[in-house]
Amino acid sequence: MAKPNKKAPDTAVNIHCRQCKTQLFKYRKGGKGALVKCFKERITKDYTVTPCTCPHCHTVFARDTLIRGTPAFKLIGGKVISK
C-alpha cells in the first residue's frame, strides 16, 4: 500500500476533545473527508501529556497504531472535534 505524501497539506485543523473542549493537536489534514486517523509526522503541535489521552478530563480518544507502515493515531469515533 502507498505511504502518505511526504509534503504536508496546506490546510491545518485544530483537534479538540468533545467532552471538555480542550485542544489536543494542531494537525495538517489533507482531503475533505472525516478525521479518522492522525499521522504523527503531520502533527505540528501536540498539547497532550500522555499519548491518546486528554490532559484535562483524561478521556482516551485514540489508539496508537501503524497505518500503511507509518506511525499514527487511530481516532475513536465521537471522541474528538476538528475545527
Which pLDDT tens digit goes with each residue over 57-78? 999 999 999 999 999 999 999 9
| Closest CA relative to residue 43, chosen from 21, 2, 75, 68 | 75
* The pairing of beta strand 37-39 with beta strand 70-75: antiparallel
Note whether 12 and 18 are within 8 A (CB): no
- pTM of the full predicted structure? 0.87
Residue 46 and residue 5: Cα distance in Å, rounded?
A: 21
**pLDDT at residue 29 in the model:** 92
**pLDDT at residue 4 in the model:** 74
User: Strand, coil or helix: what is 21?
Assistant: coil
Residue 66 and residue 73: Cα distance in Å, rounded?
A: 8
